[in-house]
Amino acid sequence: MEKHVVVIYPHPDDESFGAAGTISKFREQGVPVTYLCGTLGEMGRNMGSPPFANRETLPEIRKQELEAACQVLDMDLKLLGLRDKTIEYEDRKEIAVKLKAILEDIEPSLVITHYPGHAVHPDHNALGAAAVLAVEMMAADKRPVLWTQAITNTFVQDLGEPDVVQDITAYFDRKIEAIFCHRSQAGGMISKWTENETDEEAAKALMRERFGTERFFTWTADRAAAVE
C-alpha cells in the first residue's frame, strides 16, 4: 500500500479528467492524496455553457470548482500560484526546487504527473517536466515512484503501451461527479464530443468510453534519457 500520493497537474480539472478514479481508489484504501495544482486556469477560454463567467471572475470561479472537486475526491489541495499558459516560460529548475521542497515535506511514496512532451498543452508538458526534475533531484532513499500520464492521440505509437492501467469502473460515478464540479469547463468540453451536452446519460456513456481506464507510464532512466 502507498504511504502518500501526490498528484501534480497545472490546471483545475486536470485532476478530475486525468486521475479521479485512481485518486478515489487510493482514498478508499486509506492512502492520503495531495493535489499540487499549478494554476487557477485563469486564461481558459471556456466561460460556462451557457456562459456565466468572464475574464475577471473566472479565476475565483475555477478555484471554487477545484475546491469542490477535491472535496468530492477527499484529497488535500495545495495551490502552487503559477500563472496559466506561462509555465513553459518559467525557469524549470526554480519550479522543480519548489516542488522538491513540498515533496520532501510530504514524503510521498508515489507522484503522478503528465508525461513531458506527450501531454498536448504546453503547461502540461512544462509542469510535468518540472515534476520529473523535482523527483530526480531528491535523495535516492527518499525518491518516490513516479507515474506519468501521456494524453496525445499518438502516445501509444510513440511510447508503447502504458505499464500501469487502472480500471476505474468502480469509481466512475465519483469521477463524473468530480468532473462536473468544474462546471465552467465541463460543458464546453463535453459539447465537443456530443451534440447535446445537456443529455447527461449520453455524456456519461461517452465519457465512460473515453475515461473508463486511467493509464500511466512508470518513469525510468530510459524514459528520462529519451526526453533530454
pLDDT digits (tens, 9 = 90+) for 123-146: 999 999 999 999 999 999 999 999
Spatial strand order in the sheet of 33-37: 76-79, 33-37, 5-9, 110-114, 145-149, 213-218, 164-167
Among 183, 212, 219, smallest CA distance to 48 is for 183
8/174 Cα distance (integer angstroms):
20
The verdict on pTM exceeding 0.85 is yes
Question: Above 70 in pLDDT, residue 213?
Answer: yes
The letter for the amino acid at 204 is K
- What distance lies between CA 119 and its chain's CA centroid? 10
Query: How confident is the model over 68-78, as a mean pLDDT?
Result: 98
- HSE-up (13 A, CA, CB side) for residue 100: 19
Residue with grid cell 492524496, as numbered in its chain: 33
**pLDDT reported for residue 22:** 98
Query: Is CATH 3.40.50.10320 the right assignment for the domain spanning 5-227?
Result: yes
Judge whether 97 and 135 are in contact, CB under 8 Å. no
- What distance lies between CA 9 and its chain's CA centroid? 4
Question: Above 80 in pLDDT, residue 170?
Answer: yes
- Report the mean per-residue pLDDT for the chain: 92
Write down the domain spans for the chain. 5-227
Sign (positive or negative) of CA dihedral 72, 75, 76, 82: negative
**pLDDT reported for residue 193:** 54
106/112 Cα distance (integer angstroms):
14
DSSP letters, the chain, are --S-EEEEESSTTHHHHHHHHHHHHHHHTT--EEEEE----TT-S--TTTT---TTTHHHHHHHHHHHHHHHHT-EEEE--PPTT-GGGS-HHHHHHHHHHHHHHH--SEEEEE-TTSSSSHHHHHHHHHHHHHHHHS-GGGPPEEEEE--STTHHHHH-S-SEEEE-GGGHHHHHHHHHH-HHHHHHHHHTTSS-TT-HHHHHHHHHHHHSEEEEEE--HHHHHHH-
**What is the percentage of the chain residues whose pLDDT exceeds 70?**
93
